[in-house]
Structure 1
Amino acid sequence: MSTRARQAVSADRIDAWLPQTQCTQCGYPRCRAYAEAVAHGEAGINQCPPGGEVTIAALAKLLHASPAPLDPRFGIHKPRARAVIDEAVCIGCRKCLDVCPVDAIVGARKLMHTVIARECNGCELCLPPCPVDCIVMVPVDSDEAAEPWPEYTRAEADHWRVRTENRLRRLALRKRTRHGTPHSTESAAPLPPDRERIRAEIRAAVARVKALKARTTGQKP
């Protein structure tokens, strides 16, 4: 078996021991990228906070390496949680939809968004881009029978992997469609987005939300 083939097999087996939260805490854009880095010896086996001790032990056994404590530079292992959107505050900016790696959020621009609870993997990637801080993480009761991880089942991890791959394929297809193909007779290049108008709309929506909160609490906006 060639070195490339061994690395490909190892990446698949390593990826199988990642909970597929796609949280990027490991320093890579998704779980598969981290698995490939580990297979190439470019990343340690202790960089996955969601996988915690289970993932570290499994990767150590798989790669015949010594187990190591979770590297605190990449975060800490936390109880499972899922995102919930305060629909009364949501301004419909779509920023959370754009970053959710498993398409667990639905909604449309300027309309209320909501999280599909059963699909949310708790990655927290939707928190930073929200301009009105209307998303919170709420605890999820762990299934006592969950395995191999205390918080995640193998079926859930496999499901999130598929949703991530489907999303990436959809985005790639959309990008190709927008830019046309060599056989296209018409220009498919998108018009430059009116970024300043969008920013102005978001600022106005944020101001409305702050004013609403100020009236509710009696504080100055």
Structure 2
Amino acid sequence: MTKTLADQIEDVLPQTQCTKCGYPACRPYAEAIANGEAEINQCPPGGLEGVRRIAAITGRAVIPINPVNGFERPRPVAFIDENLCIGCTLCIQACPVDAIVGASKQMHTIIPSLCTGCDLCVAPCPVDCIVMYPVTDDLTGWDAWTQEQADAARERHDLRTARLQREREENDARLAAKAVAKMREVTAEATNTPEQLAEKERKRAIIAAAIERARQKAAKE
């Protein structure tokens, strides 16, 4: 199978999924570059070496990292202070590669070997119990990251994305089934007076509208 330009660009991105490029993940950024909608210097985790790799694929000139997107730096890893963690799960929801484990109202823990240093778990924490520690000394960009780590992070991100989509679809299906059951219940109600008939029709219209909204939502996803 021949790879598209976006595929080739995505292959040389570090897959930290940090959104510093201004896009929600590495793939959308790769597509934006391929479409001429983004510059090749918007990925601080890839650093100047990352710019060189993209330039080699696209034929564009090598340019410095755009400071608007951040700066090349040693790779950090998140750490959670267990004495402050309240188990709110907001960091788990924010992590793009499932590198955080824990349950509601229980202490959470970062798995260092899985953490991409994206920083996305820091801002949502309501008690400021997450800090980022540099773990690569003076090594930055691709010198602080390997292709094997990038490939593994990409796989975890894709698996997480697929899981969240499946959970949304399952939840929508449950809500739709509940609405259908309710409509049947309303239809089966005994109605003798005009007032009862009107009430039944009102309920049926509300439920039908809810089902249609769920259908339209599922069609857009």
Higher helix share: 2
Aligned-pair CA distance for 1:141 = 2.9
| Match runs of 1:76-95 below 5 Å | 76-95=71-90
Aligned-pair CA distance for 1:142 = 6.0
Q: Give, in whole Å, the separation in 2 of the partners of 1:129 and 1:185.
A: 34
Q: 1:173 and 2:162 equivalent?
A: no
Change (3 A) 1:125 1:59: same
Q: 1:96 and 2:124 equivalent?
A: no
Q: 1:150 and 2:143 equivalent?
A: yes
TM-score relative to the length of structure 2: 0.76
Give the alignment partner of residue 140 of structure 1, picking from 131, 135, 143. Answer: 135
Q: Give, in whole Å, the separation in 2 of the partners of 1:59 and 1:178.
A: 40
Q: 1:116 and 2:107 equivalent?
A: no
- SS in structure 2 of the partner of residue 137 of structure 1: strand
- SS in structure 2 of the partner of residue 74 of structure 1: coil
Paired amino acid for 2:160? R
Aligned-pair CA distance for 1:78 = 1.1
Q: Give, in whole Å, the separation in 2 of the partners of 1:118 and 1:129.
A: 22
User: Highest relative contact order (Cα 8 Å, sep 6+), 1 or 2?
Assistant: 2
Q: Deviations over 1:113-163 (max 9, x none)?
A: 00011100100000000000000111213698x9x9201100000000000
Q: 1:64 and 2:95 equivalent?
A: no
Larger radius of gyration: 2
Paired amino acid for 2:118? C
| Match runs of 1:11-50 below 5 Å | 11-50=6-45
Q: Give, in whole Å, the separation in 2 of the partners of 1:17 and 1:136.
A: 28
**Structure 2 residue ranges without an equivalent (≥5):** 181-221
Aligned-pair CA distance for 1:186 = 3.8
Aligned-pair CA distance for 1:58 = 1.0
Change (3 A) 1:132 1:41: same
User: What percentage of residue pairs aligned between the two structures are identical?
Assistant: 48
Query: In structure 2, what is the equivalent of residue 160 of structure 1?
Result: 153
- SS in structure 2 of the partner of residue 72 of structure 1: coil
- SS in structure 2 of the partner of residue 103 of structure 1: coil
Aligned-pair CA distance for 1:103 = 0.2
Q: Give, in whole Å, the separation in 1 of the partners of 2:136 and 2:58.
A: 32
Paired amino acid for 1:109? S
